[in-house]
Amino acid sequence: MSRIFIQRGDITQCTTDAIVNAANTSLLGGGGVDGAIHRAAGPELLAECRTLGGCRTGEAKATRAYHLPCRYVIHTPGPIWHGGHAGEAVLLAGCYQNCLRIASELNCKTVAFPSISTGVYRFPLNRAAEIAIRTIEEYLSTHAEIEQVSMICFDGTTLSAYQNALSEWEANHV
């Protein structure tokens, strides 16, 4: 049975051990989920992010969560979509792998992800959902320490895409 749960909601309300921030490479805040996480965490998050020296696309760095109801924020800059021929799929998979690796290192049992790169970075939603589900399922298959991964979807369209991707994965990996 899958340890991935898909739900519609606000990632800043998640009480998981860690939440993932779909950050930009500066790690200094931005729009969308990045801005919402920075606003909810408070100015201490920005102050800590300033000490990290940014982060390359596909990689990840963790901070404390400050005023959020979780313990950690794992920041990962997703790839900007350039038509699919600039390594975007590999970079997006790297976002999920590196966030999960850091979550394991921090002894997190529960992690919540947003849909990385599907907003202003324009990664096609269905393809991004398939990459996310595949990458998370493959990681979880060899890492029992993470008990649950939640995909927190901002809207119904995103929710449907991730539900469909998870159903497809389960149908093909029984």
Q: What are the catalytic residues?
A: 34
Report angle CA 34, 138, 10 to the nearest 5 degrees.
25
Q: How far apart are CA 64 and CA 73, in angstroms?
A: 6
- Tokens 């469909």, located at residue: 164
Residue for token digits 């950050």? 23
Name the residue among 31, 33, 27, 19 with its Cα closest to residue 50. 27
To the nearest 10 degrees (0 to 180), the angle between helices 125-140 and 156-172 is 50
Rg (CA), the chain: 15
